[in-house]
Structure 1
Amino acid sequence: MKPEFFRLLRRFTAVSAFICGTSAFADQHGIAMYGDPALPADFTHLPYANPDAPLGGKIVTSSVGTFDSLNPFIQKGSVHWQLRFLMQETLMGRSLDEPFSLYGVLAESIETGPNREWVEFTLRPEAKFSDGSPVTVDDVIWSYETLGTQGHGRYRGFWEKVESLEQVGERTVRFTFSTEDRELALLAGLRPILKKDQWEGLDFTESGLEVIPITSAEYVIDDFEAGRFISFKRNPDYWGNDAPFRRGTGNLDEIRLEFYGDETAAFEAFKVGEVNANREFNVAKWESQYNFPRVQNGEVVLSVLPHERPSGMTGYVMNTRRPQFEDWHVRDAMLHAFNFEFINEAMTGSAQPRITSYWSNSPLSMEHGPAEGRVAELLEPYSDQLPLGALFGYDLPVSDGSERNRAGIATALEQMERAGYTVQNGVMADAEGNPFTFEILLQSGSSENSAIIDIFSQALARLGIEVTITAVDNAQYRERTDAYDFDMTYYRRGVSLSPGNEQYAYYGSERADEPGGRNLMGVKSEAVDAMIGHLLNAPSQEDFVAAVKALDRTLTAGRYVIPIYQWNISRQAHDTRLKYPEDLPIFGDWPGWQPDVWWWEE
């Protein structure tokens, strides 16, 4: 392992000027958001992959829930999150050892205009789909048009900024953009390429288990049983074994996803060997329950894996579309009533640090205290609409750790009163006597969330607030959150060292009410939109960092989410025969690392 935290990010932020470019970026093997990609044109493999890894073996992981679709590229259906990473292959691939650099996968080269107003990709002649047919420019154009207009909402934001998409050579496709946005040239390389002919006469938007999308990826679905398991097998005729980006990846013969009704059943399956790799998020469980016989006899090893990425935001999001949470005073009251210190002790033995902002654990995190310098300059034009604390400093409430949390409850009562609510005959109610109540929506099977929310609901009862806790299955949960039919629910949003256009999907106003979107809190803020715009078009590296810090302050002070603990390390328990390279990427345990670069060694 390499403990040089932020090694590449420091080099990344040390660039003295933002490389805007004055000439076309011609026929390169890769592209970086800022400056040049770290790997040279003649690189042989990714630095965190083992090109000599043996082939064979399998990894079996568990998930709580079920699935009713095998098409991860559309809006409909309940699809396991890992499918789109295992099934899709893209023109370029992202290195997990750099903040945001791409290298050729289906594309052998990339070329951009002087200001990245257009980008061209030239396909590798050897690129093929799993059925043996070649990947063509026609497939690329169809995939982008179809995904951008009929696919999952995650693909639409990019497509709306494409002015034209055309074939300009036998194997070359050009994107021309309608807006100034340097990140678009990179995003253009990161959409899945599907086989056009497969969908002739079929409705691409319909989900189900009958049609499995044909892609060019290393693995294909070999077998499945609805709601029970999905088995991927390594394609023996995979076209890209000699592509530098793929050397040392796709080493396992089988990747199997098993599905269980609850966390207890999933863990028991791991203990007896039905599952051979398990990612553990609860440190108290890691320290107290991972001493079962297969660990003691060495069949299972416990790996603690550091990473150097931002914390992102994990916690419980309040839906500001609902009248209960329109007022920030109410949201602030919820934060004071949520006794994190007591909950953290109960759940983890106080072993996990709390998330303090969206980019905590990284150089992009907001500083606490008043905004200064360029951050203050960016925020000042919106001072009359910023949430309290964005300019002058905001910190999450800290309790004394006792169960009663008297100071926190007292502050919560004050904030509820400022929002027009008082305790009347033991019940929190408005001036007309209408009780203040709301529903907390959870997915079935999550014992950790259930335990945390039980403690929280007891604290709310001291405020005279009665909440309804509703647990539903995966399909119902997806349907309700897609329709924003919730008051409060569990929330997890990962962020990167190079935030970009995805921030509009997470927090932008324009798509806040579009069904199936990712802006679960419903934030509509001119300041938030402006900070995203600044980070996308920053004239210097310093401005980029300042814009992210300003966005972080605005979101955190907006009090949209009740943060819980962060995971600055990953805990993996796995069969001793499952191996991974010693050199970890800066993103650590992240999509693209497991199972991608793991291998089986007897």
Structure 2
Amino acid sequence: MWHGVFIRLAMRCCFLAMGLFGMSAQAAVQHSHAITLRGAPALAEGFRHFNSVNPDAPKGGRLRLDALGTFDSLNGFINKGVAAEGLNRLYDSLTAGSEDEFGTRYGLLAKRIIRDPNDASWVIYELRPEARFSDGHPLRAEDVVFTFETLLSEGAPAYKAYFADIASVTALSPLRVKFRFKHKTNRELPMTVGEIGILPKHYWATREFNRTSLEVPIGSGPYVISDIDPGRRISYARNPDYWARDLNVNRGRYNFDQISYQYYRDGSVAFEGFKANQYDVREENKAKTWATEYNFPAVTDGRVILQRQRHENPAPMQGFAFNTRRTPLNDLAVREALSLAFDFEWANRALFFGAYTRTTSFYANSDLAAQGVPSKAELALLKPWRKQLPAAAFGPAVTPAKSAGDGYDRANLLRAQALLKQAGWHYRDGALRDVAGTPMRLEMLLVQPEFERIVQPLRRNLARLGIDLSIRLLDVAQYIERLRQFDFDLTVTGVPASLSPGNELWSYWGSQSADTPGSGNLVGLKSPAVDALIARITQAKSRDTLVTSVHALDRVLRAQWLLIPQFHIPFFRIARWDFFGLPNDPPRYGLGLDSWWWKGSPNIAQER
């Protein structure tokens, strides 16, 4: 996950007593202000601030953002309800990441991180004594223990998959907490545990954790909830007593006195809200809107600024996901045939103004994307699973077929027809039918009306093959619940990509998560080969080993046709009202919104 530049490991080592660690007194361990996957942190101990911030940014003003749908819960850690946007601002984690650096985390709640670089079976986080929750209660090791025990027993399924390798979490003292892991080789997990927001044990002692609630929770982060209009609006106020406001990892960040989220029914209504100055910043994800609709007066007179901000992130794999738990989508030939019916070249020209690049890899726009035929090292990882994997995994990396871009795509539809015949489906009496005469009928589940125009051309091409694809548009709550229960045929999804993939892969692709309601494994993949590759990725000790392992995983996922790949762009499209100051240098891997500051507006009273 959700970052790092990898250079040689050069960190100071110390010796700790055998009684503390249960290790030999001669065992060398590291005491550091940061933790990395591989190599040394880019910022030395005592650094003043992250690179892509203005350390002298003024505090004040407000930031108004948008959200879609509704919310009915202020508990984002469980698999129930629809959590409000922005809840992450309530909670501090043991470490903080920089949007300029992958694979490195710097101490936040933790003053010191203690570990053995040759033994990933444990890590110790030493807390800052000044750490406090927003009610003034000290944050201590018992809160860290409570957080992980609670998330593993009552949290959303993703936590259970992500942290399945945790053996124990123990408070060694009020300010020291030790994580023990089941294996010595999962190199990412000692860093990953530092990324989770820490919950207050004293607050939850009198409350039921695993239920939705609109009761304002207690956290330790830079903001507290100041106002709620259930399902419509939520506002956060900067905590003037925030314990970590002067830490180097926070300097120049969290500058707004108020951050609010206004909820809208769908993206079209939200765009009208932006034009009416109801919120301040919009990250545009529709090429047509960006190309044709940002011509309203506030843009032409300079009150709204349009910018394209490049980034170095690998592109997420956005696509039409197949639920392989269901017939006929459990047939690889059927999935490949359906994929041939999506005419990207026509859609890019006719719908997207040529703005997009076809996504061909689960790690597009990065060196982790598999290219050409497998290397010897990749083949060595794939060969033990030859009988279980599609033959295509051993050849040139699978890529979506190109079309003539004419909207009919006859050549690809003929290929699709041949694959469907191979799978036992034949066109008869106006429909594509199996041997029992049952027609192929599928449903596309959507939550955003804007996607209908993208699905309709796919629907038309499938109809030419005799396949009936219906479109079901749901509200947010219904949509989330159906996905949690895997109650769908196809849906639009996005699988996040990272320059340093690791334990999150278990939730997306691990066999154990396939039947766990609410997991990230929407497609229902169960593959011992994929499980083995994920294990190797999490255990990689060098960048070369990681890249080779991810290449092999990318080949296998692409050869399975688990979804129909869509498209991506290597930059953020941002529209913002001209109320803000921004650092001179944007971050390499993020939008950097938390480092913006309020520049001012003469009409702030009217704009609220």
Q: What is the TM-score of this pair, normalised by structure 2?
A: 0.93
Give, in whole Å, the separation in 2 of the partners of 1:205 and 1:147: 10
Q: 1:454 to 1:23 in 2, by over 3 A?
A: farther
User: Any idea what the Cα deviations from partners look like across 1:301-357, whole Å, max 9, x if unmatched?
Assistant: 112111101112101100000012111100101111111111222221122111111
Give, in whole Å, the separation in 1 of the partners of 2:96 and 2:369: 27
Shift in Å at residue 25 of structure 1? 3.6
Alignment check: 8 A CA contact 2:355 2:569 kept: no
Alignment check: 8 A CA contact 2:64 2:281 kept: yes
Show the counterpart of 1:427: 431
Shift in Å at residue 283 of structure 1? 2.3
Residues 185-334 of structure 1: pairs in structure 2 closer than 5 A = 185-209=190-214, 211-334=215-338
**Pick aligned residue for 1:154 from 153, 158, 168:** 158
2:71 pairs with 1:67: yes
Tell me the secondary structure at the aligned position of residue 70 of structure 1.
Answer: coil
Alignment check: 8 A CA contact 1:75 1:516 kept: yes
2:589 pairs with 1:598: no
Shift in Å at residue 578 of structure 1? 1.8
Tell me the secondary structure at the aligned position of residue 260 of structure 2.
Answer: strand
Q: 1:379 to 1:71 in 2, by over 3 A?
A: same
2:440 pairs with 1:436: yes
User: Any idea what the Cα deviations from partners look like across 1:529-554, whole Å, max 9, x if unmatched?
Assistant: 11111111124321111001111111
Choose 536-545 or 35-44, whichever is displaced more: 536-545
User: Any idea what the Cα deviations from partners look like across 1:128-159, whole Å, max 9, x if unmatched?
Assistant: 11111111111111111111111122221344
Alignment check: 8 A CA contact 2:320 2:565 kept: yes
User: Any idea what the Cα deviations from partners look like across 1:523-574, whole Å, max 9, x if unmatched?
Assistant: 1111111111111112432111100111111111111111111121001101
Amino acid at match of 1:95: S
2:589 pairs with 1:583: no
Show the counterpart of 1:4: none
2:122 pairs with 1:122: no
Choose 40-49 or 340-349, whichever is displaced more: 340-349
Show the counterpart of 1:5: none
Tell me the secondary structure at the aligned position of residue 71 of structure 2.
Answer: coil
Shift in Å at residue 262 of structure 1? 2.0
Give, in whole Å, the separation in 2 of the partners of 1:170 and 1:351: 54
2:45 pairs with 1:47: no
Show the counterpart of 1:106: 109
Alignment check: 8 A CA contact 2:343 2:405 kept: yes
Alignment check: 8 A CA contact 1:313 1:357 kept: yes
**Pick aligned residue for 2:455 from 453, 469, 487:** 453
Show the counterpart of 1:562: 564
Tell me the secondary structure at the aligned position of residue 258 of structure 1.
Answer: strand
Amino acid at match of 2:598: W
Amino acid at match of 1:177: F
Shift in Å at residue 103 of structure 1? 0.3
User: Any idea what the Cα deviations from partners look like across 1:345-400, whole Å, max 9, x if unmatched?
Assistant: 22211221111110010011111x32122112111211222224211022211110
Tell me the secondary structure at the aligned position of residue 417 of structure 2.
Answer: helix
User: Any idea what the Cα deviations from partners look like across 1:115-136, whole Å, max 9, x if unmatched?
Assistant: 1221111111111111111111
Show the counterpart of 1:534: 536
2:516 pairs with 1:514: yes
Alignment check: 8 A CA contact 2:8 2:40 kept: no
Amino acid at match of 1:416: L
2:400 pairs with 1:402: no
Alignment check: 8 A CA contact 1:76 1:207 kept: yes
Alignment check: 8 A CA contact 2:120 2:183 kept: no
Amino acid at match of 1:137: A
User: Any idea what the Cα deviations from partners look like across 1:450-499, whole Å, max 9, x if unmatched?
Assistant: 11111111111111111121111111111100000000001111111000
Alignment check: 8 A CA contact 1:72 1:83 kept: no
Show the counterpart of 1:184: 189
User: How many residue pairs were aligned?
Assistant: 584
Tell me the secondary structure at the aligned position of residue 542 of structure 1.
Answer: helix
Give, in whole Å, the separation in 2 of the partners of 1:520 and 1:24: 43
User: Any idea what the Cα deviations from partners look like across 1:73-107, whole Å, max 9, x if unmatched?
Assistant: 11111114x43432221011122212210001111
Show the counterpart of 1:3: none
Choose 415-424 or 188-197, whichever is displaced more: 188-197
Tell me the secondary structure at the aligned position of residue 466 of structure 2.
Answer: coil
Shift in Å at residue 23 of structure 1? 5.2
Shift in Å at residue 289 of structure 1? 0.8
Show the counterpart of 2:546: 544
Residues 21-100 of structure 1: pairs in structure 2 closer than 5 A = 24-80=28-84, 82-100=85-103
Shift in Å at residue 20 of structure 1? 13
Give, in whole Å, the separation in 2 of the partners of 1:488 and 1:300: 37
Where does structure 1 lack aligned partners over 5 or more consecutive residues?
A: 1-7
Q: What is the TM-score of this pair, normalised by structure 1?
A: 0.94
Give, in whole Å, the separation in 2 of the partners of 1:234 and 1:39: 27
Amino acid at match of 1:370: V
Tell me the secondary structure at the aligned position of residue 261 of structure 2.
Answer: strand
Show the counterpart of 2:23: none
Shift in Å at residue 27 of structure 1? 2.4
Choose 150-159 or 345-354, whichever is displaced more: 150-159
Amino acid at match of 2:575: A
Tell me the secondary structure at the aligned position of residue 572 of structure 1.
Answer: strand
Alignment check: 8 A CA contact 1:440 1:467 kept: yes
Choose 212-221 or 478-487, whichever is displaced more: 212-221
Tell me the secondary structure at the aligned position of residue 513 of structure 2.
Answer: coil
Alignment check: 8 A CA contact 1:15 1:541 kept: no
Q: 1:75 to 1:418 in 2, by over 3 A?
A: same
2:488 pairs with 1:486: yes
Alignment check: 8 A CA contact 1:20 1:115 kept: no
Shift in Å at residue 577 of structure 1? 1.7
Tell me the secondary structure at the aligned position of residue 282 of structure 2.
Answer: strand
Alignment check: 8 A CA contact 1:305 1:588 kept: no
Amino acid at match of 2:41: P
Tell me the secondary structure at the aligned position of residue 244 of structure 1.
Answer: coil
Alignment check: 8 A CA contact 1:324 1:438 kept: no
Give, in whole Å, the separation in 1 of the partners of 2:344 and 2:391: 21
Alignment check: 8 A CA contact 2:291 2:353 kept: no
Give, in whole Å, the separation in 1 of the partners of 2:308 and 2:30: 42
Choose 112-121 or 562-571, whichever is displaced more: 112-121
Tell me the secondary structure at the aligned position of residue 246 of structure 1.
Answer: coil
Shift in Å at residue 26 of structure 1? 2.9
Amino acid at match of 1:194: L
Q: 1:516 to 1:61 in 2, by over 3 A?
A: same
Amino acid at match of 1:134: P
Give, in whole Å, the separation in 2 of the partners of 1:24 and 1:86: 37
Show the counterpart of 2:574: 572
Tell me the secondary structure at the aligned position of residue 203 of structure 2.
Answer: helix
Show the counterpart of 2:360: 356
Tell me the secondary structure at the aligned position of residue 102 of structure 1.
Answer: strand
Shift in Å at residue 162 of structure 1? 1.9
Alignment check: 8 A CA contact 1:71 1:212 kept: no
Where does structure 2 lack aligned partners over 5 or more consecutive residues?
A: 15-25, 601-608
Amino acid at match of 2:351: M
Give, in whole Å, the separation in 2 of the partners of 1:164 and 1:123: 18
Alignment check: 8 A CA contact 1:91 1:191 kept: yes
Q: Give 4+ residue runs of structure 1 displaced > 6 Å after superposition.
A: 19-22
What is the percentage of aligned positions where both structures have the same residue? Answer: 39
Tell me the secondary structure at the aligned position of residue 323 of structure 1.
Answer: coil
Amino acid at match of 1:599: W
Give, in whole Å, the separation in 2 of the partners of 1:542 and 1:184: 19
Tell me the secondary structure at the aligned position of residue 420 of structure 2.
Answer: helix
